[in-house]
A and B are shown apart, each in its own frame.
Chain A
Amino acid sequence: MCCKKAVIDRFEGQTAVCELENKQFINVNKKLFNYTAKEGDHILIHKTYVIRDEQYHSRKIDLDEYFDK
């Protein structure tokens, strides 16, 4: 496998805390990103760089289904 798929849960200083597909978490240095990342971005983590996962399509979630109106 060339890289790991993950989603950015949050930033802690210079560290992006990322959720992998198996729900484990890893810390990734922000310096490795080739773009200005934000929370919730789906990414591909390579050994020396991180790129946005262009193949990922966000879930279509209607929060009204889960929240009281």
Chain B
Amino acid sequence: MKSKLNKKYSVLVLLFVLCSMLLITACFPAGIDSSVINDERLTVIAFDVDQADCIYIHTPQDENILVDTANNSDGQEISNQLYNLGVKQIDYLFLTHPHADHIGGADDIIKNFDIGKIYMPKVYHDTQTYMDVLNAAKNKGIKIQEAKPQIITLNACTINMLAPIKEGYDDLNAYSIVFKLTYKDFDMLFTGDLPKQEEGELLNCDLQADILKVAHHGSNDSTSENFLRQVGCEYAVISVGEDNSYGHPNDDTLVLLEKYNVKIFRTDLQGDIIITTDGKEVNIENVL
């Protein structure tokens, strides 16, 4: 009888331990933590945010930059990821253009963090998602900076904003903020969802970069051969959702990248993509 009770008790304890472990795992999902940040290296993380964009940059001088904020439902999850990385303040928030898969989580991010400067193209979009971002900034007393060609000098890096260069586009993708991040000999080109036609307007700029954030999730509306040739990158990062219904990334884009021997990293296949560099050597890892 006593042995039976002991057995029951052991099973209950075991169940309790298992449930507790499951609960802890659910509350604190595995992910990237602050150990990936090295104060002597530039770190760029393309978060796996399904069919959307969100890229975090940590500079060697401890500046935090966020490029896009994925969809509406992602704001809190991105905040949690940034908390795990030890981020308390975002010095620069770039919202490349007003589509919801790029700015959706921005209202949560603006509410949750101290924000330095917010850059957006000055173009109106009549969605609630867009208004929520404007109002979140206004409620915090932040005036948004208009994105236009300019150089932003950070402590150890520079951001050369190349676009948007014009107004009056029909397609909001055409307003995408394009910038080159430079740290010593390392360059990475961020392109938002810039279409091929507007890529053509940048061909006289210095586009050369080690890594290209492929525009528009690898759509064949973006990444022309001329543009890719000018960038001359060794690596490409594609932020894209697994089995998305839009056919991203397009086969033509992948074939073009392969033609130029570009090594492709995809968030749908490889999860979070972590790039670190000392300004010379580049290391790219992924976390599924």
Contacts and interface: CB of A to CB of B under 8 A. Distances in A.
Contact of B246 (A15, A21, A66): A15
A61 to B, nearest CB: 6
Contacts of A66: 134, 137-138, 143-144
Contacts, number: 68
B127 interface: yes
Tier of interface size on chain A: 20 to 34
Interface stretch (B34-42, B87-95, B118-126): B118-126
Nearest to B72: A23
Contacts of A27: 245
Tier of interface size on chain B: 20 to 34
A15 B245 CA distance: 9
Nearest to A38: B170
A40 B75 CA distance: 22
A68 B137 CA distance: 12
Q: Is the interface of A mostly helix, strand, loop or mixed?
A: mixed
A17 B100 contact: yes
Contacts of B171: 39
B145 A67 contact: yes
A17 B170 CA distance: 16
A21 B125 CA distance: 15
- Report the 6 A-B pairs with minimum CB-CB distance, sorted nearest first: A68-B143, A12-B246, A40-B126, A66-B134, A10-B99, A67-B144
Given A12-B248, A39-B172, A67-B122, 14 more contacts: A7-B126, A9-B100, A12-B246, A13-B219, A17-B100, A21-B128, A38-B170, A58-B126, A59-B131, A61-B131, A66-B143, A66-B144, A67-B144, A68-B144
Interface of B: 71-72, 99-101, 120, 122, 124-129, 131, 134, 137-138, 143-146, 170-173, 219, 245-248
11 contacts: A7-B126, A9-B100, A12-B219, A15-B246, A19-B129, A21-B128, A25-B71, A61-B134, A67-B120, A68-B145, A68-B146
